[in-house]
Structure 1
Amino acid sequence: MMPAPADASGCDLAGRYAAVRARSLALAEGLSDADATVQSMDDASPAKWHLAHTTWFFEEFILAGAAPAYRGYDARYRYLFNSYYDSVGARHPRPRRGLLTRPSLDEVQGYRAHVDNAMARLLADPVPDALARRVVLGLHHEQQHQELLLTDLLHLFAQNPLHPAYRDAAPPSAPATAPGSPAWIPFDGGRHWVGHDGEGFAYDCEGPRHEVLLRPFRLASRPVCNAEWCDFIADGGYRTPTLWLSDGWKTVQTEGWTTPLHWNGEPAPGEAPRAMTLAGLQSLDPAAPVAHVSFYEADAYARWAGKRLPSEFEWEVAAQGLPEAALEGANLADRGTLRPLAAPAAAGPGLVQMYGDVWEWTASPFVAYPGFRPAAGAIGEYNGKFMCNQFVLRGGSCATPAGHLRATYRNFFYPHQRWQFAGLRLAEDA
């Protein structure tokens, strides 16, 4: 279900606030203080930091200006839990977040309770529209961190030779063989409107709405699956320099990539790959979408297959024609599988898995739309200053919270990054 508009009444907004904040605590349930403190790499953050940073956001951008009687929990947290807002002030270096053994997880939860109590008092009565919109932004910001909390924990646990499970889950029943070749769904060229229309919530980078000119194209009916990626590996995909962009080939050589991230070595011929998942080390469904690949890998696979990656606008135009059920029935975090799944057998002949399972890399750089202007003040740092050297992904993943996606949503990462549930869908010119 899509979230209610940002002009919801104070009562509705209070309920939404409580639900999102409770979801974050539920995701952290069962973690030890050590689980929540360790940082496995510079790109990831400790679970404890995610819980504190999302709380800092409401304290800094809501309570500090809208609740004159509010008293901060600990003035030092303004330095510890700022992420990248330079206009707010100095901050603890990102690569050193895992050294914050104090405050403890219990203290961070006390911080959350302190801020939540103040927010409950603030939202007990209707609030001005501008403030309501900022609260909704904070809720979507927290949902982003809920996904990051899961992917960061997966990366952390993948470093442990015991292969611990974050949540015990029975592996989904896997088909005996890989799926057949995908169908190719045609779309007309011409002028198309893209970008958010202003109804309901969207991030600033999703607008302004504007026209683009597209040539006729076709999209694969489903994402690339694990079995197909095994064919790419067996055919020397990671050893063939002509398949790779120059920076991608350099990265492959430097990092020693031979499989997607979290795979437990190259699979033997005819065997399903095994990989670290949030349920521990598991055999991967050959028909499920491949995950944890970088833009470089996705681009190389597309070249190997004789296809290409879609542009973000091709993806968006295709998604515009999908029924609401495509989003409502998606494999998102709330289903609890926390891993990509094969498309249902009765999915039909059209596009499937456009939402959920894996984010889909596009060929589009993350840049501003025509007429984009960042908001004034620190909030303007949210997306605009990252519009350089990154690529757009679309569609969400099995770790994305329900109610957080729409056809215009633009995720973005650097081309070498692959710890997210990122996969790909092929495209071709019609």
Structure 2
Amino acid sequence: MKLSIFRSLCLLFAIFTVSSGALSQRPNFNRARTYDVQHYAISVSFDHKKRTVFGDTTVELKPLADSFRIAVLDARDLKFESVTLADRSEQLTYRTSPGKITVTLDRDYMKDEAIKIRFKYSATPKKGIYFIDENSSDHKIEHSAQIWTQGQPEEAHHWFPSFDFPSDKATSETRIRVPVDMTVIGNGELVGGEVHDDGTKTIHHMMGTPHPTYLISFVVGKYVKKEEQYNGISLAYYMYPGTEYMIEKAYGRTRDMLRIHEELTGIEYPFAKYDQTIVAKFSFGGMENITATTMADTEIFAAEAAQRGWSNKAAFELHQATERLYHCVLLVCTFYTPHVHNIGFLRTQAERIDPRLTYVWPRDTKRDRARFEKLKEAYVKARYSKHYRISKEELEWLGSQVEELGRVVHEVCSQRIEELARGARAA
């Protein structure tokens, strides 16, 4: 089922490539820019109890035109201690407004002249960075305290000043200061670390390929790491201590997935490493940041959910897989999908597009109809209702139907993409 879903979701990306020649006009969604950011140098430390970030970020930028003196950056609820040029101590004039900081430079700068602005600040972000408390049950720690980021689509400016929009790409480096017993997973190359006398350490990562701000990420927590290689690429998997047995189940086919992606796209994986890390209370199934993917632990542990008594979590994950498959077929076939989680509604819309989808879910017996209804309810009730119950037999049946749904969605989407490809070639 995992491979079928993976292939189906790949089709969702492919549609935009194949159909680009058939679209005569597209609106311009880019934000206007007066400068081009070259590099972000971000240093942060934390007060976990107070959910506070202490930042020291230098933004290197170049004007896009002469006589550049005013720089406006995105910065949501950051409390600035100082704003200076990186090589000077004199304060620059600045003012803040909702979501912005406007900096007046010391003089007019010419086009392409490098400017480095240093910001010292603190924040208690509502987005962008998330503080997770340690969780334990039956006197056993399930996971340590965690701090992790989620930047998509435009949440990076909640923890560092930036041009927080995908059209602007820059290199980056992070220096993350944490207790010595914590692991830090970041973007790009691990270039150094320093242990301090106060029981903390600073971990330094460098990402030398330009990228949007929303892909800048880190995870802090206590982890066990397993590492392997694929064509010289370091593949690292970070799991909670005591859950190492799940690495093979969850990540054992990573090498195959990279190989399949390279074969399908004709493009080799371009970076020296790929990290995959689980976190608690992640709001999505996962987020593919640059060189590092952050994943919801519920997604990873779903494979053994029934065996560990996590049947409700397994039902929720099956609901999510079903929802994503229907979104996939609607987007590929109609270029639109409604932003709803009601898989009954999504099923109706999808089955109107192609009758092959109708036969995935048997409707002849009351029992079969009730099983789908239980899957539909899982989005809310499996997480929040004390009365939601689902059996191992029901989970196994639903799992086989979701797998069949993945197969049919792959078939339908493949044919639709081929039709679009023929139309694009004929245009």
TM range (shorter): under 0.3
- The two structures have a TM-score, normalised by structure 1, of 0.22
Q: Name the structure with the higher strand share.
A: 2
- The two structures have a TM-score, normalised by structure 2, of 0.22
Query: Rg: which structure is higher?
Result: 2
